[in-house]
Chain A
Amino acid sequence: MKPAPFKLCMPEEEQEILALLQSYGRDARILAGGQSLVPLMNMRIMQPQVLISLNRCTSLSYINAQGNGIAVGARTRQAEIEESEQIASRLSLLSKAMPYVGVRSSRNFGTVCGSLAHADPLAELPSVAAALDARFQLASVRGTREVSADEFYIGALTNCLEPDEMLRQVLFPALPPNSKSVFVEVSTRTHGFAVVGLAMCASIDSSAICRDVRLAAMGVSETTLRLRSAEAMLEGNTLSAELIDEVSRAATETMNPPHDIHADGNYRKRVACTLIKRALSEVVQR
């Protein structure tokens, strides 16, 4: 638990952060809450030469209404999201997923953007962001650009950030007022890294017709997986038991999930099917 030598920079201004990123490039890593990066450094799996800490840059800490959505800054702690009434009322999916993210003590320091950028295939937030059609704002001294989750995630622990870029904020478009959200996951123990998980939001009208259905699964591929064919099957249709069965089967049929010591691919596939059923059944019942 002794990291390799590194230089620590603790800038207070965003411009300074971007300037440091530009000058150090690939040798630098952004340090936000450090809940994933620091253990990896302790095990020397990662050995960045420079750490650029966001922790003194308070201007990156915010939960702001922006246009038709809510923007969350790079330094905003997960616990702040968990406690935010604004998030609970307008982005209930994010709110519901928070208790599954790490443990309470890690959420006190861990950040939303840090977890998103880390791109762990078994992290909850990338799937939540995918299901919410989040916009990832990437900043560098060259300017800013915005990408979707599909564009941001390239593979396990890999994103599309250029060496001089940081994930400056993530913008979650607000859910329609009648939208319902479900977050479900299964793990070997009650609380810990999941084996499979599912984030879902959908609007269901009084005659059980679905609109704006979005489903994103974790643990079934290298990155979060939007289940677009399932979404299309559900869109505009009545959510019957038969449809739920059909959709959950069709959505998982072609999956080819990874195998590891916790579960084989077949198990992940089976459980993904179960979770889709659970999530859809839950929104019908509500």
Chain B
Amino acid sequence: MKTILVVDDNPDVINSIKIGLEDATREYRILGAENGIKCLELLQENVIPDIILLDIMMPHMTGWEVFDRIKKDPSYHSIPIIFLTARTDRTAINAGSFLGDDYIEKPFDITDLKKRIEIVFQKKSNPTIK
């Protein structure tokens, strides 16, 4: 079972993903963090997820900063990150698509999310896949 860490300041989003992925498929374990600091604390507590779904617009610490911290730490830098963004400006889209492994715009379908997560895992297990 793969662990997915969802970092979003809206707990409804975390819960709905948890319901949508964990309960429905039972293939994933969903962990939630309400902000970037909690995300980094979890990582420091040695809770290493298989993938992180990272919201961009969050209080205290933005998704960019969290991303930066994770990627700079050799202990976690290999964890794939999919940006969850409600932002529609070019900066967000560009950063999400090119910095992270993927990005998905809010509001998204759970099936769409699931497919993208699977593609990321497939890419990770087999880097030759585009």
Please determine whether chains A and B interact with each other in the same assembly: no
Chain A residues with a Cβ under 8 A of chain B: none
Chain B residues with a Cβ under 8 A of chain A: none
